[in-house]
A and B are shown apart, each in its own frame.
Chain A
Amino acid sequence: MIKIENLYASIEGTEILKGINLEVKAGEVHAIMGPNGSGKSTLASVLAGRDEYEITEGSVDFLGEDLLDMEPEDRARAGVFLAFQYPVEIPGVSNINFLKTAINEIREKKGLDPMIAKEFLAQVKEKSKLVELDGKLANRSVNEGFSGGEKKRNEIFQMAMLEPKLSLLDETDSGLDIDALRIVANGVNELKSPENASIVITHYQRLLDYIVPDFVHVLYNGKIVKTGTKELALELEEKGYDWIKEEAVSA
């Protein structure tokens, strides 16, 4: 589904990603772990199309298309979804109206008619239930006055509504209590299918108790330095990241 080759990216002259190689196939869940500052969020941002990063080398193929050449909205329309680490508060913009606009713009690009109001509302109802998001929140301004957990649940709610092919979950677990974590993870698991894939970025192993990855990659200093299965995550939890750093340095 997505093939990242030798990807280098920098911001304001500082190189953050230093040759990432990663392939994710349909139906797979990949976890990317690593210490703070290793480039995890940068990778998510670059894939979603945030433009303050400069791509200096490498390529990203998404379903046969050059992802790096696409505008953020075109990536979303092609099926990429980023669940933000820090969801943005947008006062004055209704959560529901914005989502309706987004969905209908995506449908328009695909040559489909706008979703009829009844169907849209039925989906809102069904999918907000999935993440136990209070119906009232759906009608409020985007993320405005939401608690940390509500913001993250709102991200998964949007993901459920947009039905992406590839979901990038950027530190979706950070700052969540165990109940919120369970709800968020449950939402992600419910949405899993053989046709879609997820890249789960996290600092902690905790989330991976709920969202079980097929592969775990360790990102350090802008590179994937180790790849394994879910057992690798447990090992990291136990031993921390220092041994990875040492290995990386000695390599």
Chain B
Amino acid sequence: MNETLTLSTKDKFLSHFENLDFSFDADFSKENRDRALGFIDSLEFPTSKTEYWKYTRVNKIVKGDYQVRFPENEVEIDLSVPTKNCIVLVNGYYNEELSWFDNQEGVVFSSLSAAKENTSILNDKFGTIAKDSQEIFTAINTAYHQDGAFLHVAKNVKIEESFYVINIIDDSNVLSNPRNFFFVEQGAEAYVVLKTISMSEGSSFTNMVSEVFVESNAFLEINKIQDDNGGDFQIANEQVEQASDSRFKINTFILNGALVRNNLNIELLGKNTETWLNGLYPLQGKQHVDNHTYVLHREPNCVSHELYKGILDDQSTGVFNGKVYVHREAQKTNAYQSNANMVLTDNASANSKPELEIYADDVKCSHGSVTGQLDEEAMFYLRSRGMSEKSSRAVLLNAFASDVVEHIGVEAVRQEIDAFIDKNYQSIK
């Protein structure tokens, strides 16, 4: 009785995992889980005093009542995604019926659990870059992840067809810890679409971690679409490592979800790399979205371009914190960072904090942050040609989003985002 009364928020949250059994797991993964449990012991959930989490309270998330739930019923969903490669997870568990893939030579695309048994890369690399010791949510994922997607593209293999990874939440109050691992070898090229879809009616929590390795001279593009339901929470951590001469692009689209926090960390560990980080968050209602990005320029001659744009309607809040760290060895760094927010109502708000920390002396770095309203003059111009207020607004918001959207290298994703903006801003007010 006494024990129940003194149960801390952390213990209560962790009790959701009590009945999970990971004895089947590969040895190296079990070791990782054990190590992560140690970190969880010493870490606490962030509070408003934690600088890294200043604008986003996790209380609502961690105090929720959840279930880690293996899906018992068939999921009825139309996944008409135009690809030959689609891994589907339901509530964090791999779903064979909904998945399809046709591994061609030089590609291994499978569930993480299958890959743990079959590939040696995971033995060497799994869990090596995720920041378990610093981030409690990452440590929780490492300790309790159920399954996820694994992609390995071998040396010089170029695949144009996208690899889709879809995590479906099929009910309310579901807690899931999907875990992904993407490894693109030297000279290889691949496109990934990482998508969350929720059928919950509220209060499910997805805590996703992805480890991404882009080897020398390789190219990887990730399009991440977060389309939870209105009452859901999501925290996503992507840890990316780029080797010399590699190119990496990640486009993040947050389409729905009550509270979404993204921690995107990219470490440029070789020379002459190029990186694009783009984000678009068209928010409505009381949505709260927080994008934290970190780019470490460790070596010379690397370029990073960052562009995040928010459209903040109703009472929504958009938080952007982008940090670029230029190590003293990283001469000739080019780092560009920009955050623009369009605030549509008096009750919506944008918090924007671009940060540069530079220890090299021969670099080109710039950052900018703009917050504004819809251009009244442009609205009048369009309306004076006969366009309704609604469609003028949709056209201008589409244009505002267009320089993010045009970065998408996957046509189906581009269409989806365009359609989302058209639909949402034509139908309101």
Does B385 belong to the interface (CB within 8 Å)?
Answer: yes
Q: Are B387 and A73 in contact (CB under 8 A)?
A: yes
Does B398 belong to the interface (CB within 8 Å)?
Answer: yes
Q: Are B395 and A73 in contact (CB under 8 A)?
A: no
For A49, the closest partner residue in chain B by CB is B384
Q: Are B378 and A76 in contact (CB under 8 A)?
A: no
Question: Interface residues of B toward A: which range?
Answer: 20 to 34
Q: Could you say which of B83-91, B259-267, B330-338, B399-407 contacts chain A?
A: B399-407
Does B380 belong to the interface (CB within 8 Å)?
Answer: yes
Residues from chain B with Cβ under 8 Å of A103 in the complex:
386
A103, B392: Cα distance in complex, Å: 13
A90, B379: Cα distance in complex, Å: 10
Q: Are B384 and A72 in contact (CB under 8 A)?
A: yes
Does A234 belong to the interface (CB within 8 Å)?
Answer: no
Identify which of residues 207-231 in chain A touch chain B, using a CB-to-CB cut-off of 8 Å.
none
* Residue among A77, A81, A84, A90 making CB contact with B399, cutoff 8 Å: A90
A166, B395: Cα distance in complex, Å: 26
* Residue among B378, B388, B389, B399 making CB contact with A88, cutoff 8 Å: B378
Does B356 belong to the interface (CB within 8 Å)?
Answer: no
Q: Are B385 and A76 in contact (CB under 8 A)?
A: yes
For A83, the closest partner residue in chain B by CB is B384
Q: Are A106 and B396 in contact (CB under 8 A)?
A: no
Q: Given the known A-B contacts A73-B386, A91-B399, A93-B399, are A101 and B378 also in contact in the complex, defined by CB atoms under 8 Å?
A: no
For B395, the closest partner residue in chain A by CB is A93
Q: Are B380 and A92 in contact (CB under 8 A)?
A: no
* Residue among A84, A92, A102, A141 making CB contact with B400, cutoff 8 Å: A92
A128, B183: Cα distance in complex, Å: 52
Identify which of residues 344-390 in chain B touch chain A, using a CB-to-CB cut-off of 8 Å.
375, 377-378, 380-389
Q: Given the known A-B contacts A88-B377, A92-B399, are A105 and B391 also in contact in the complex, defined by CB atoms under 8 Å?
A: yes
Q: Given the known A-B contacts A93-B395, A93-B396, A101-B391, are A88 and B385 also in contact in the complex, defined by CB atoms under 8 Å?
A: no
Majority secondary structure of chain B interface residues (helix, strand, loop or mixed):
helix
Residues from chain A with Cβ under 8 Å of B387 in the complex:
73, 98, 101-102, 105
Residues from chain A with Cβ under 8 Å of B388 in the complex:
73, 105
Q: Are B386 and A76 in contact (CB under 8 A)?
A: yes
**Contacts between the two chains (Cβ within 8 Å), count:** 73
A147, B51: Cα distance in complex, Å: 49
Identify which of residues 69-112 in chain B touch chain A, using a CB-to-CB cut-off of 8 Å.
none
Does A71 belong to the interface (CB within 8 Å)?
Answer: yes
Does A4 belong to the interface (CB within 8 Å)?
Answer: no
Q: Are A98 and B386 in contact (CB under 8 A)?
A: no
Q: Are A84 and B382 in contact (CB under 8 A)?
A: no
Q: Are B386 and A162 in contact (CB under 8 A)?
A: yes
Residues from chain B with Cβ under 8 Å of A92 in the complex:
398-400, 402-403
Residues from chain A with Cβ under 8 Å of B395 in the complex:
93, 98, 101
12 A-B pairs (CB sep. < 8 Å): A48-B384, A73-B383, A73-B384, A73-B386, A82-B384, A88-B378, A88-B380, A90-B382, A90-B396, A92-B399, A101-B387, A105-B386
The chain B residues found within 8 Å of chain A, CB to CB, are 375, 377-378, 380-389, 391-392, 395-396, 398-400, 402-403
- 6 tightest A-B CB contacts, nearest first: A92-B399, A76-B386, A72-B383, A88-B381, A102-B385, A106-B386
Additional A-B contact list (20), CB under 8 Å, known A98-B395, A102-B385 = A49-B380, A49-B383, A50-B380, A71-B383, A72-B384, A73-B389, A76-B386, A77-B386, A81-B384, A82-B384, A87-B381, A88-B377, A88-B380, A92-B399, A92-B400, A92-B402, A93-B382, A93-B395, A98-B387, A105-B391
